[in-house]
Structure 1
Amino acid sequence: MAERPFNQSDLDVLAQWDTPTICNGLEIVVPDRRAIGFTTEPMVCLDPKAKPIVGLARVGMIRATEPPRSKVTDRADWYDYVARVDLPTIAVLQDIDGRIGYGAYWGEVQSTIHKALGSIGCVTNGSFRDLEMWAPGFQMIGGRVGPSHAHVHMVDFAKPVNVFGMHAAHDDVIHADYHGAVVIPADAVRKLPAAIDLVSRREAVILDVCKAPGFTPAKLREALRKSGEIH
């Protein structure tokens, strides 16, 4: 079992907040990551009403527009890599084709396999299909929906990937929901609840003034002064 500065309970705590709230907290805990570490393109979520997923990244690369030109990565090796260890995993797959999402790696079969392996979801710039036959409880935040898997194959895995601007590596903590995904530095996991509480209290000062009877720009100005730096 790997030594980590967090455990399952810590990840469960983070799952109570949506991904934008996690990003707000990270702006306080690790301000140098304010503009990096998260997806920056619109994404398609299989189940927008599901709670956020939080787990360890299992990273890989795929392509689908052409048949493999050389020996392909054995999917069974990928499955061994993805399998849950002491914490749940999230597949983070980068489609490296020129036409991203041309063929879908994900559908009924792959979602069912990965759920059985202990993975709780996937974040990918690629496509997915079989929406009505998807493994229940396995979340997908992907680039788009498509009908065919074409020549989809695994190119490589366990090496850093870039999914819509989010650079992720093996064992990174991923938090994702229908807004997108973000990487949480390991040493920030346990610091986030206090940071999120601070942001929430700052926001409350402004929100309460805006919702109260007798709102005026002058009252807003005073609330902004009291709340400190706020987005």
Structure 2
Amino acid sequence: MTNPANEPLPASVLEALKRFDTPTICNAMEVVAPDRRLTGYTVKPLVCPFPDLPPIVGYARTATIRAASLPRLQGAAARDQRAAYYEYVGSGSGPRISVIQDLDGANVGYGAFWGEVNSAVHKALGCLGVVTDGSIRDIPQWAPEFQALAGSIGPSHAHVHLAGFGEDVNVAGMAVRSGDLIHADRHGAIVIPFDIAAKLPAAAELLARREEVILEIARSPSFTIETLKAAMAKSAEIH
């Protein structure tokens, strides 16, 4: 659920969530909110040029872009729209994560909104990274420690322009509203409902304890199918 009062969660909750990778958070979600097993996360592959960066957790700032057609706004009007967008990105609860949907359909990724300049600007505005189904570029010049999950990497920005911002978007199958809490890393991203966010770290730790029993046997030189069965039974008893 979105936070309608625009009140941030305690910083300790976000810090606790950052200790886990995104697949682990997805696993924990299945324990805490099993009805979300099929929704709320990216389901299509995204490119991550910086796979060694740690997980990021922040509040979504949404936008839509187009690049394969000329923008409706030109000159001062386009600059005013971009300034209003930057004001939106830099306002409200932080830290923030940019979530941008490319509306070019079959031509998705035709032009890159993201590169050296926008990664630097968004980082300065308090963003930790971007999740987009559009393209990105300028990888060597990218803002340091600014994470990126993108639909593709390309050379040109073409006619890239903002179509809008602050509205609901869908990126790689993940539906996002402005202000949603997002967890992301090299694997993809997931929306975390506010009302269960604080429960996820404990669920992740429970699952880790259950998995460790099986992993210990699987990595043992004395592994047999019988020891595996015993480990599976023991794992199921951990609560």
Q: Where on the TM-score scale, by shorter chain, does this alignment land: which range?
A: over 0.9
Q: Deviations over 1:91-118 (max 9, x none)?
A: 0000010211000000011111111111
Among 11, 20, 27, the residue aligned to 1:17: 20
Q: Which residue of 2 aligns with 1:148?
A: 156
How high is the TM-score relative to the length of structure 1? 0.94
| RMSD between aligned residues | 1.9
* Distance in 2 between residues matched to 1:200 and 1:81, nearest whole Å: 38
Q: Deviations over 1:68-92 (max 9, x none)?
A: 2467681111111110534211000
Residue 131 of structure 1 deviates from its aligned partner by 0.7
- Compared with structure 1, are the counterparts of its residues 84 and 16 closer, same or farther at alpha carbon in structure 2 (3 Å cutoff)? farther
Among 38, 63, 73, the residue aligned to 1:35: 38
Q: Is the 8 A contact 2:63 2:163 kept in 1?
A: yes
Query: Which runs of structure 2 are paired with 1:75-114 in the superposition (5 Å)?
Result: 75-98=82-105, 99-114=107-122
- 1:3 partnered with 2:7: yes
How high is the TM-score relative to the length of structure 2? 0.91
* Distance in 1 between residues matched to 2:109 and 2:178, nearest whole Å: 23
Stretch moving more, 32-41 or 216-225: 216-225
Q: Is the 8 A contact 2:6 2:179 kept in 1?
A: no
Residue 223 of structure 1 deviates from its aligned partner by 1.7
* Distance in 1 between residues matched to 2:188 and 2:43, nearest whole Å: 8
Paired residue secondary structure (1:44): coil
Q: Is the 8 A contact 1:58 1:171 kept in 2?
A: yes
Paired residue secondary structure (1:48): coil
* Distance in 2 between residues matched to 1:160 and 1:69, nearest whole Å: 21
Stretch moving more, 93-102 or 80-89: 80-89
Runs of 4+ in structure 1 displaced over 4 angstroms?
Answer: 69-73
Amino acid at match of 1:203: E
Amino acid at match of 1:94: Q
Query: Which runs of structure 2 are paired with 1:126-137 in the superposition (5 Å)?
Result: 126-137=134-145
Paired residue secondary structure (1:16): coil
Q: Is the 8 A contact 1:8 1:87 kept in 2?
A: no
Q: Deviations over 1:160-216 (max 9, x none)?
A: 111000111111111111101111111121101110011111111111111123211
Q: Is the 8 A contact 1:19 1:52 kept in 2?
A: yes
Query: Which runs of structure 2 are paired with 1:67-216 in the superposition (5 Å)?
Result: 67-69=70-72, 74-98=81-105, 99-216=107-224
Number of residue pairs matched by the alignment: 229
Listed as ranges, the gaps of 5+ residues in structure 1 are none
